[in-house]
Amino acid sequence: MELRSFIGLDEAIKRSLKYSPRQKSTIVPLLEAVGKFSAEDIVSPSDFPLSDRSAVDGYAVNSRETISSSKINPSSFNLVGKLFPSSSKNFVLKTGESVRIATGSKVPKGADSVVMLEDASEKDGRVDVYVPLRKYQNVSRKGEDLRKGFPILRRGERVYPPHVAALLECGIEKVAVISLSIGIVSTGDELVSGIVRNSTQPMLQSYFQRKGFVAVGHGVVPDVQSAIEDALDLVKEDVIIVTGGTGPGERDVLPSVMEKSGKFVFRGLKIRPGRTTSFGIYNGKPVFMLSGLPVAALIASENVVLEAIYRWFNLKREVKEIGSGELGRSLVNTLGFRSFVRVRVEEKNEKTFVYPTRVTGSGVIYSMINADGILVMDENSEGIAEGERVSYEVLRW
Which of 86, 90, 349, 380 is in the footprint of its own copies by CB under 8 A? Answer: 86
Of the pair 158, 285, the CB lying nearest its own copies is at 158
Q: Is residue 381 near its own copies by the rule CB under 8 A? A: no
CB 73 within 8 A of CB 96: no
Of the pair 21, 35, the CB lying nearest its own copies is at 35
Of the pair 14, 358, the CB lying nearest its own copies is at 358
Which of 27, 92, 168, 234 is in the footprint of its own copies by CB under 8 A? Answer: 168
Which of 24, 148, 174, 210 is in the footprint of its own copies by CB under 8 A? Answer: 210
Q: Is residue 376 near its own copies by the rule CB under 8 A? A: no
Of the pair 62, 276, the CB lying nearest its own copies is at 276
Q: Within 49-68, which residues bind its own copies (CB under 8 A)?
A: 49, 53, 55-57
Residue 360: burial class (beta carbons within 10 Å; 0-12, 13-18, 19+) = exposed
Q: Is residue 84 near its own copies by the rule CB under 8 A? A: yes
Please, how many CA atoms are within 13 Å of residue 67, restricted to the half-sphere of its CB?
Answer: 2
Report how far residue 239's alpha carbon sits from residue 180's, in angstroms, rounded to the nearest whole number: 8
Q: Is residue 34 near its own copies by the rule CB under 8 A? A: yes
Q: Closest separation between CB of residue 36 and its own copies, Å?
A: 12
Sign of CA dihedral 117, 120, 121, 122: negative
x/- contact string, 291-330, with its own copies (CB under 8 A)?
Answer: -xxx---x-------------------x--x---------
Which of 79, 102, 216, 376 is in the footprint of its own copies by CB under 8 A? Answer: 102
Instruction: State the CB neighbour count (10 A cutoff) for residue 76.
Output: 13
Report how far residue 177's alpha carbon sits from residue 361's, in angstroms, rounded to the nearest whole number: 38
Q: Is residue 225 near its own copies by the rule CB under 8 A? A: no
Q: Closest separation between CB of residue 330 and its own copies, Å?
A: 16
Q: Is residue 259 near its own copies by the rule CB under 8 A? A: no
Name all contacts of 330-335 with Cβ < 8 Å and 24+ positions apart. Answer: 330/383, 330/384, 330/385, 330/386, 331/356, 331/359, 331/375, 331/377, 331/383, 331/384, 332/359, 332/382, 332/383, 333/377, 333/378, 333/381, 333/382, 333/383, 333/384, 334/272, 335/379, 335/380, 335/381, 335/382
Of the pair 63, 285, the CB lying nearest its own copies is at 63
Of the pair 75, 367, the CB lying nearest its own copies is at 367
Of the pair 152, 242, the CB lying nearest its own copies is at 152
Q: Closest separation between CB of residue 331 and its own copies, Å?
A: 17
Q: Is residue 98 near its own copies by the rule CB under 8 A? A: no
Sequence-ordered list of residues with C-beta below 8 angstroms from that of 372, at least 6 positions apart, any chain? 323, 343, 344, 345, 392, 394, 395
Please, how many CA atoms are within 13 Å of residue 62, restricted to the half-sphere of its CB?
Answer: 12
Q: Is residue 161 near its own copies by the rule CB under 8 A? A: yes
Q: Closest separation between CB of residue 220 and its own copies, Å?
A: 12
- CA Rg value for the chain: 31
Q: Closest separation between CB of residue 276 and its own copies, Å?
A: 9
Of the pair 17, 322, the CB lying nearest its own copies is at 322
Report how far residue 327's alpha carbon sits from residue 390's, in angstroms, rounded to the nearest whole number: 6
CB 277 within 8 A of CB 338: no
Question: Angle formed by the axes of helices 225-234 and 254-261, to 10°?
Answer: 60
- For residue 167, the one-letter residue type is L
Of the pair 163, 285, the CB lying nearest its own copies is at 163
Q: Within 237-256, which residues bind its own copies (CB under 8 A)?
A: 247-252
Which of 164, 180, 331, 341 is in the footprint of its own copies by CB under 8 A? Answer: 164
Instruction: State the CB neighbour count (10 A cutoff) for residue 252.
Output: 18
Of the pair 95, 206, the CB lying nearest its own copies is at 206
Q: Within 350-369, which residues bind its own copies (CB under 8 A)?
A: 360-369
Report how far residue 218's alpha carbon sits from residue 328's, in angstroms, rounded to the nearest whole number: 42
- For residue 235, the one-letter residue type is V
Size of the site for its own copies (CB under 8 A): 84
CB 318 within 8 A of CB 372: no
Q: Within 261-280, which residues bind its own copies (CB under 8 A)?
A: none
Q: Within 118-157, which residues bind its own copies (CB under 8 A)?
A: 118, 138, 140, 144-146, 150, 152
Residue 302: burial class (beta carbons within 10 Å; 0-12, 13-18, 19+) = middle
Q: Is residue 190 near its own copies by the rule CB under 8 A? A: yes
